[in-house]
Amino acid sequence: MKVIISSISGFCGGVKHAIRLAHNACKRCVGRVYVAGELVHNKEVMENIEAAGIKLFRDDDWGKITARDSLLIRAHGCPRDKCAKLRKIFDMIIDGTCPHVVSVSKMIERRAGEGKHIIIIGSASHPEVQTLASFAKNGKTHIISSEEELDHLKGSMDQALVVAQSTIDESFFLNLASKISKTYPHAEVKNTICGSSRRRQQAILDLKKEGAQAIVIVGGRHSNNTCVLAQITQRVGLPAFHVETVTDVPIEKLKVFQIIGIASGASTDEKTTKQVVAAVMALENQKEKFPH
Ligand code: SF4
Which atom belonging to ligand 1 lies closest to the Cα atom of 12? Answer: 6
**Is residue 266 a contact partner of residue 238, using CB atoms and an 8 Å limit?**
no
Say whether 128 is catalytic.
yes
Task: Tell me the best of 17, 40, 129, 167 to mutate to test the pocket of ligand 1, counting ligand atoms within 8 Å of each CB and taking the most.
Answer: 167
Q: pLDDT tens digit string along 226-259?
A: 999 999 999 999 999 999 999 999 999 999 999 9
Distance of CA 262 to the CA centre of its chain: 18
**Is residue 217 a contact partner of residue 240, using CB atoms and an 8 Å limit?**
yes
Query: Residue 287: its pLDDT value, please?
Result: 57
> Which residue type is seen at 27?
K
Split at pLDDT 50, 70, 90, the class of 270 is very high
DSSP 185: T
Task: Tell me the best of 123, 166, 167, 168 to mutate to test the pocket of ligand 1, counting ligand atoms within 8 Å of each CB and taking the most.
Answer: 166
Query: Residue 285: its pLDDT value, please?
Result: 67
Q: Which residue has the higher pLDDT, 168 or 43?
A: 168
Query: Residue 115: its pLDDT value, please?
Result: 92
Report in angstroms the alpha-carbon separations of 6 from 45, 199, 226, 241, 271: 21, 10, 13, 15, 15
Domains and CATH numbers, the chain: 2-10+195-289 (3.40.1010.20), 13-98 (3.40.50.11270), 100-189 (3.40.1010.20)
Q: pLDDT tens digit string along 213-222?
A: 999 999 999 8
